[in-house]
Structure 1
Amino acid sequence: MDEFDSLTDGVFFVPPSTAGKIAGKSKTKSGKAAQLEHFKLDGFQQLKDVSEPIEAMEIRHALFNREWELMTGRIENVMRNMNTMVLSAIYNFVHNAYSRQYSNAVMPFLELPTGLIFAGINVPDHDLLFQQIAQTISSSTPPSSGPLEADDMEQDHNTTTSARSASHVVILQSKDCTNLKSAQKSMIEQFLGLGIAGATNPLEGGTRLQNYDMLVLERWYQSLCESNDGASEERKQPTLVVILQDFESFDYDTLQDFITICSNYQDRIPFVLLMGLATSIDALHQGLPKAVLSRLQTRKFQMQQSSECLTAIIEDLFIHANVGLMVGSLPLKQLIDQFIHYNFSVGGFISNLKYIVMHHFYANPLSILCDRSLTAQSKALDLLTTGHFDHLRMLPSFQQYVEGKLESDPQEAEMLILDDEFLVQQIPDLVQGLREYHQNFGMIFDFLWFLQTRFSISLLKKPKRALYFMALEGSLINSSHIPFLQSLVRKLDSNNMMIFVEDWLRLFKESPQCVPKQSTALENAMDRELVVVQSIRDRMTALLDNVSEDSVTSSSETEDIGEDIDKSSKTLDGGFVKKRKLVSLNVYAHETDGRQTRIAKKTRETTRIPKGALGAYTLLVKEIDETISRLFRTYLVCHTSMPLNEIYYYSQIAIQQKAFLPQPRASVQTALGQPEVYLNCDCCRPPSGSADQSLADMVLPTQHDTCILYKLYVECGRMINMYDWFTAFGMILERGEQSTGVEEPPAKKRAGAKGSRVGSKARTKENANTNKLDQKDVQARFISGVAELQFMGFIKSTTRKTDHVMRLTWGNI
């Protein structure tokens, strides 16, 4: 082997000599310039298969940066909006912690305001979350939020009537707080390093204090309050917030002392603690004694779960098509599976998504067309080469589009195949059609989700990302989910049907696709659908207005509706629902209030349609059903039916699996069984014609010791005899020494034949000693190789037989 004895040998870096630098000075400069140019464009290179110009490469690089900045910005907004209410509650809790006067019984100490933030089980995602919390608390204005609880409303009222007091925040992590001294030092240094205008350094002049002494922080806080003399009374005493990010990882003894010290200084320094908990409140009670817990005035804050954040990110990025690059069904399934089954990490999902965006723009020559603002005047169209046109014509969606044109317009189909200029003119129109498809898809998908939430039957509940995945696969419109929803709509009574149509119309009016246009020429497909829904609403309103007010009937039809639902739901998802369960469920979500007994159902009254208007009402319900079916079948079609969808949809799954789903066992077994795959040396390669030889001949003595032992290990059974293994290993090494023996030249043999017989015997004995292996060396190499196999998990010792080891892995790659 190429002088490779052990995996534990030291590796040394030998810098190149300075000789020849002057001669190759120009080459070195050109090489450095090329390297700088390579890193300037983040590794983007010209694609030679399409003869891509450098301007097209720069466009791909610019589109990648712009697309990823757009995605990261929208993801941060989603994460911030998901926790807006909780952030607002934390903000009010911190800024009102010392605003109330404690009128209770006098205690020997004040309770330290402490917020318990349940941030989820994925600790790596907590960095971004607590940074957002720190920014929110440090802000002078609270974040906008929805409805608050009564306690929060009272606190918010107290703070809005007066000026907000300033708050200064530090974040302590367990890695920086190994003991009490380091914890206090880290907190004090972060507070003093905030750069507060007007605050003096308490370490300058006077008695010099240690950097972990709380008197340093006290003097700094006093100077900070003195600098706020001109401010309002509330702003003279800012709050100091200490965030313990990973509470479970802290040393509990250190936390006890730290909390006790902060509580003792509370009358001079207003501390507020925020503890990040990844598990439950039991960790707090198990880690801190009762004497310390009695000093804390705790309040819980529950952050949004990672799964809900993932659904919100998918909805904002892909369902509503707020970004240019979309993700196909298989890559999206891989992303979701890795999120659910591995780490529940939103940060990991973002990293995988960035790899997809990078690979799409790095290796796809057609990604220069992946621009949301692509028009006929775009520069990217002028940079298309013959290779780009060949790639466009090889797209499956383009071929399907041309085949469809053969029946309607054969001449246009021929020009799309043969004329490059005509194809360039058609690209903006095709891209615009794909953009309109995304907008219409997002709106009708919202209508599907609205339709699902109208009914309170739990059997219908499908997650939003599951429905979107079905739409990407193309199985949504052909599933039994949509027909079942339509059947429930048909069974609504007249009052609930009117409420449903009103909410349907309101949903369309609130959509950004249905904003009022200045002219009819600017109207889109959703504007026309809005007119259809509004016409249905007007006719139903006129029909119900003509119904007599005293024409009421008993609502005993509710049981019939339940029976009809029971019959239609037997085929839903291949399942069977008992009649009793469906009858007990109310069809419409707005009817869940009130008593649900049989007598109450019979006495509930609804408007009865007269016989004269029953035919018109039936036709109107049928039109509603047909309109819903047409909307779904028109706008929820699979994206693969749209031409040039491959430009905007990333659908490669193999590269993603190779990058984010590693197989360490396969790599280790390949390295041990076929070392020539990883080691660039000729000694590890099998000889020519070795495919027809046995496995014993494939065990080459020139290979690494661990490789030889592994190949012998594959031939063994469940129990491996160590002596037999050692003997086979030594025989292979001995065979290698014999094959490397050098034969003497003929002239030397003839000269040696003329010598004495004593000299010949001496040379024979010397050669035998030279070719013979040292048994201690073989034993040492054997022990080293077996230890490496044991470390990698192939074998383990057993007590059944002292001279045997147990095999742990089966199968060979």
Structure 2
Amino acid sequence: MSPPLNFDDPNQSVFFIPHNESDTDDTGSEHNSEEKKPGKIEDLLGGKEIRWDVYRAAWTKCLSRIQDLLNAIYEPFVMQVVECAATAYQDDLPGLPYPEIPIITLTSSSSSPAFLQQVITRLETQEKCNFYTAHLYPPECINIMSAMKSLVSTFTKNSGGHRGSGQTLAAYDIRVLDAWYQALSNSKKKHGEALRLIVMLHNFEQFEPSVIQDLLRHISRIPLVFIITLSSPQSPSYLHSTYPRSTLALLRIQNFRIPSGISILEEILLDTFVSIEFNPDLVLGPAALESIIDSSIRHNLSVDSLVNHLQLAHLKHFSTVSLSALLHETVSASTLENPASFHFLESLVIFSHAKLSEDTDWKARNVPGIISIVDDARKEFYARVQGHRIAFGLLRLVQEFMEQRGYKGLELTRENDLCPKYLKLFINMKRGDITRELKHTKMLVSKLKSAELEAFGAELEVFCDKLPPETQGRNTIIDDLCSTLPEKSDEFAKRLLGFIDAQLRNALNDTDLWQIWYTGDSPFPSEIINPSVRASIISGLLRPKDFITLPDTEHSPKDELWERPDTSILFDRYLDSGKMINVYDWFESFHVVLETQREKLEEKRRRELLAERVTATTPGSPRKRKSVSPRKEKQKAKEDEEDGLDEGQWKMQVQARFIRAVHELDYLGFIKHTKRKQDHVLRTVFDVKI
């Protein structure tokens, strides 16, 4: 035992305090806050439910913002489509031998259900014209009869009337739809209302061209407007490259291209996470943003894919970071004082102590003080986030001003860089890697002429007017930059870059408890979006119980080879072989494992029978017979069947199980047949980490 320490001894300049594991675990005083990860913090009382509610509120706010942005982007195009459908039969060209069928094509490089839903909603709420819409899909239109039946029934099923028992027309007869249309049109004309029938053909490339040709020839007597969705390139058009001229002569085609691509991706991300007009609850770090952008650009540029990525980032943060329960508001003191929340409170104190000074350290000694610390940290964090957005907005203002006047501006894009330029600038700003851009911006502004400087000052005033009144730094911009514009551009550049640099110096991961509101450098779970199929298959073959554990069986910590399925056993023997596998040797090694399996199962059955006999002979109170699950009964029947096999039948069963396992590995691509040796197969997978 070490002697007691005397801190008052003037002869000692250094004191060695030995590490005590038990004391440290009890008090937590020796824990390093940097080593304690937020994901490893124990939850507070009801933490999972609180984090789920916080996640739903944060994600709903983010999703509503994205939907509002999409509605604003799509609105002009939706109005054009609706107007085109409403006036489709008002501007008929005179002198045509037959009326043309209006076809409206909506072309997009990716699926756009949000745009289609907005078009449908606008058609249903249009006041000038009554639209009746029918949706047709390729599986419903395998031939002309099924296509006509779907078309007629979709319109007439909601008419409110009923057909009499003396009907003479088939359900797919176009005259049924014609009669329904005439009756409905006459009733609408009495009230001075117009009527339009819209047919939306989803996934148009999957329809059989012959069915569409017959359909267009049969519906000429009814004024239908077709809206078709295309994912193929606009040039050459799918219609012109697939359908003959005789069919195209019946159509009046009007093309609309749905906004999509990288520009929409950039606009949504910037207006959601960078705009000074919107404050998301969860701030994504550079690692998550870069992964989302890279995955969207390389694999799927649709808005739905982007929304899925953002939702997954939110889910990961709120499911792994226990402190995220405090994102919106701090829980009550009674919840923190509950014994079930002591570990969470301890971690919260550790994180708070990391940034506290001696003057404010006393706050962390009681629960109300900790709540005050969290509330202050929340205000400070969001203030810094807004400062970063203002700094980015000023850099973007300089870049756009330079581009409008023909200057090159900042070099935001580099060779082989797929990321949009402003998103790349924002990610670099989050990482603190924009020293070159700041110097370049200062040089560009310092070289502005007096007239250009005055024009830039006017745009800067417009930028300041858009800032919310409560924004921190707004008055600084107005007082220092907008109130009195200096005549010398270099002086103005110094002021402008000084303000931007001051905002960026306040790093987000420098604030107290930043892990609550910021993902930082936490990686995006890309394996969920794009999993490694090869690694999953190999892991399933090596450790099948990790993937499928029966609820009525005990999962032993050590997985014996004979307990695995046949394919897993054969794959284990596969890994022990060389490049070429002798099938007979492979079978013999498989046979040895099955013999061990047979012996173990027989020994297990003997023990169970002995236990049943002991239980039956032991006197005692009558007990209720336990019900056996169907899975156990099936397994027991199989074991009894194997036990009743003679040696010849057993060998035949082993051969059959071996052939089935080989076929499964062959189907998965683990073996390759060779023509050189009929009794050998080639191994295709090497360097497997067991």
If the TM-score is normalised by the length of the shorter chain, which range does it land in?
Answer: 0.7 to 0.9
| Corresponding residue number in structure 2 for 1:288 | 243
What pairs up with 1:493-512 in 2 under 5 angstroms?
493-509=449-465, 511-512=466-467
Q: Which of 200, 220, 227 is equivalent to 1:274?
A: 227
3-state SS of paired residue (1:455): helix
What pairs up with 1:585-600 in 2 under 5 angstroms?
none
| Corresponding residue number in structure 2 for 1:173 | 137
User: Percent of aligned pairs with the same residue?
Assistant: 23
Q: Distance in 1 between matches of 2:571 and 2:686?
A: 12
Q: 1:685 to 1:621 in 2, by over 3 A?
A: closer
Q: Does the Cα contact within 8 Å between 1:737 and 1:771 map onto a contact in 2?
A: no
3-state SS of paired residue (1:171): strand
TM-score (norm 2): 0.77
| Corresponding residue number in structure 2 for 1:317 | 272
Q: 1:733 to 1:646 in 2, by over 3 A?
A: closer
The one-letter amino acid paired with 1:336 is I
TM superposition shift of 1:380:
4.5
TM superposition shift of 1:178:
2.3
TM superposition shift of 1:318:
1.5
Q: Distance in 2 between matches of 1:735 and 1:387?
A: 49
Q: 1:261 to 1:770 in 2, by over 3 A?
A: closer
| Corresponding residue number in structure 2 for 1:532 | 480
Q: Distance in 2 between matches of 1:291 and 1:525?
A: 67
| Corresponding residue number in structure 2 for 1:65 | 56
| Corresponding residue number in structure 2 for 1:782 | 658
2:296 counterpart of 1:350: no
Q: 1:416 to 1:719 in 2, by over 3 A?
A: same
Largest Rg, 1 or 2 = 1
Q: Distance in 1 between matches of 2:98 and 2:441?
A: 62
Q: Does the Cα contact within 8 Å between 1:112 and 1:297 map onto a contact in 2?
A: yes
Q: Which of 418, 430, 450 is equivalent to 1:472?
A: 430
Q: 1:187 to 1:74 in 2, by over 3 A?
A: farther
Q: Distance in 2 between matches of 1:489 and 1:625?
A: 5
TM superposition shift of 1:654:
6.2
* Cα RMSD (Å): 3.3
Q: Distance in 2 between matches of 1:165 and 1:738?
A: 80
Q: Distance in 1 between matches of 2:569 and 2:363?
A: 61
What pairs up with 1:511-526 in 2 under 5 angstroms?
511-513=466-468, 515=469, 524-526=472-474
The one-letter amino acid paired with 1:217 is L
Q: Does the Cα contact within 8 Å between 2:261 and 2:301 map onto a contact in 1?
A: yes
| Corresponding residue number in structure 2 for 1:332 | 289
Q: Distance in 1 between matches of 2:116 and 2:595?
A: 64
Q: Distance in 1 between matches of 2:369 and 2:596?
A: 72
What pairs up with 1:190-201 in 2 under 5 angstroms?
190-193=154-157, 195=158, 201=161
Q: 1:307 to 1:175 in 2, by over 3 A?
A: farther
What pairs up with 1:488-637 in 2 under 5 angstroms?
488-509=444-465, 511-513=466-468, 515=469, 524-537=472-485, 539-540=486-487, 620-637=488-505
| Corresponding residue number in structure 2 for 1:649 | 518
2:257 counterpart of 1:302: yes
Q: Which of 132, 135, 138 is equivalent to 2:121?
A: 135
TM superposition shift of 1:626:
1.4
3-state SS of paired residue (1:471): helix
Q: Does the Cα contact within 8 Å between 1:114 and 1:296 map onto a contact in 2?
A: yes
| Corresponding residue number in structure 2 for 1:519 | none
Q: Distance in 1 between matches of 2:556 and 2:263?
A: 52
TM superposition shift of 1:658:
4.9
2:329 counterpart of 1:369: no
Q: Distance in 1 between matches of 2:460 and 2:467?
A: 15
The one-letter amino acid paired with 1:812 is V
3-state SS of paired residue (1:166): strand
| Corresponding residue number in structure 2 for 1:803 | 679
Q: Distance in 1 between matches of 2:144 and 2:244?
A: 17
The one-letter amino acid paired with 1:304 is P
3-state SS of paired residue (1:114): strand
2:332 counterpart of 1:384: no
Task: Summarize deviations over 1:691-729 as a string: whole Å, max 9, x none.
Answer: xxxxxxx8x455432223212222333333323323433
Unaligned runs of 5+ in 1: 1-46, 142-163, 516-521, 541-619, 688-697, 743-766
Q: 1:501 to 1:381 in 2, by over 3 A?
A: farther
2:531 counterpart of 1:662: yes
Q: Does the Cα contact within 8 Å between 1:734 and 1:773 map onto a contact in 2?
A: no
Q: Distance in 1 between matches of 2:601 and 2:53?
A: 59
What pairs up with 1:11-22 in 2 under 5 angstroms?
none
Task: Summarize deviations over 1:228-262 as a string: whole Å, max 9, x none.
Answer: 23333xx34x1111111211111111111112223
The one-letter amino acid paired with 2:151 is M
Q: Does the Cα contact within 8 Å between 1:130 and 1:245 map onto a contact in 2?
A: no
TM superposition shift of 1:278:
0.3
The one-letter amino acid paired with 2:662 is V
Q: Distance in 1 between matches of 2:171 and 2:504?
A: 64
The one-letter amino acid paired with 2:401 is R
The one-letter amino acid paired with 1:213 is D
| Corresponding residue number in structure 1 for 2:622 | none
Task: Summarize deviations over 1:353-378 as a string: whole Å, max 9, x none.
Answer: 3333344445544334322xx5xxx7
Unaligned runs of 5+ in 2: 1-39, 414-420, 604-642
The one-letter amino acid paired with 2:681 is V
Q: Which of 96, 100, 114 is equivalent to 1:107?
A: 96
Q: Which of 383, 387, 395 is equivalent to 1:448?
A: 395
3-state SS of paired residue (2:106): strand
Higher relative contact order (CA 8 A, sep 6+): 2
TM superposition shift of 1:636:
3.2
Q: Does the Cα contact within 8 Å between 2:395 and 2:441 map onto a contact in 1?
A: no
Q: Distance in 1 between matches of 2:654 and 2:243?
A: 58
Q: Which of 407, 415, 430 is equivalent to 2:377?
A: 430
The one-letter amino acid paired with 2:411 is L
Task: Summarize deviations over 1:131-166 as a string: whole Å, max 9, x none.
Answer: 21211233326xxxxxxxxxxxxxxxxxxxxxx332
Q: Distance in 1 between matches of 2:388 and 2:101?
A: 52
